[in-house]
Structure 1
């Protein structure tokens, strides 16, 4: 059994005639606040960074180190769907929108995209293959998962400085106990997802904060 992701899915795609393979992943479906973030990464087969893995299996220090290595050694595009888009579309469609934007943002369009999950975004501009648990199987997808997570964590850290008390610097907007208590005590910020039940329920009770 493999100890981590490898390049076999990319090699299989290359055998079908695709030369530029992008790994695509998103992070941030579960939080109550902040955008959903996606990354598309095209690795150089001759310069694959060592230690790539599902971002959730890596320490924060290791993710940070790999972020810089991937940025230096691969082609990377990172994109987002906003809280407003999440509320207007639903979180699944918004996460797919972020993926579509990430792929479209690559300087040179890939021939194929390997998408983490079991669904292919409907408006993707290139042929694609959905890969369940792709971030643990494909180095390209694992690289994308690292880039998306670090970027989103940094966004949430910045927002935590503007809206202290919700713990976003540590919970990244996920519904931790302290975050939910802060929602009750401090109210809803402009960066909370109003379509998510814990936020919607508090808004219905009439407690929110402005800027």
Structure 2
């Protein structure tokens, strides 16, 4: 079991620690709000990750196959939510608000995961590759894989949030804060565009 778990972590490492859309969202929030203010969102995101991973592992992925329209609606909701986050960053940049802004909280963090259909695809892929590789592929194994996946992602997002927080430490003046908020608004806008077109071309 230990060897399979190590193989699972190695499989997840490039997906979790590379600069993907989810990491960029939390790096942006870390830069705008700081590590402490984003912690509830991070916990909410990964609590939802654990629950969704359990659901997929126990057969929820079959529902996705049977309801492609709902899957597309979920994708568009995710695009809209990230675009809304980009708008709040842009407004902060225009108004001059910086680190005093309020974070999105645990529920907002959970919505980021729920509205990210690509997460369902990655989770389904993970189970297709690793569930049968464990000695006893049953409910306990699904719980174990979900826990490893959620904890690994939590650590990765935490590191990216720290990176964002350290970026802000170099831009303390209001002028720099406005500039940084505007930059991250553009980044999040680009993430929303990527999510939209990636879903269109099926990658």
TM-score range relative to shorter protein: under 0.3
Q: TM-score, normalised by structure 1?
A: 0.26
Structure ranking higher in helix proportion: 2
Structure ranking higher in strand proportion: 1
Where relative contact order (Cα < 8 A, 6+ residues apart) is larger, the structure is 2
Q: TM-score, normalised by structure 2?
A: 0.27
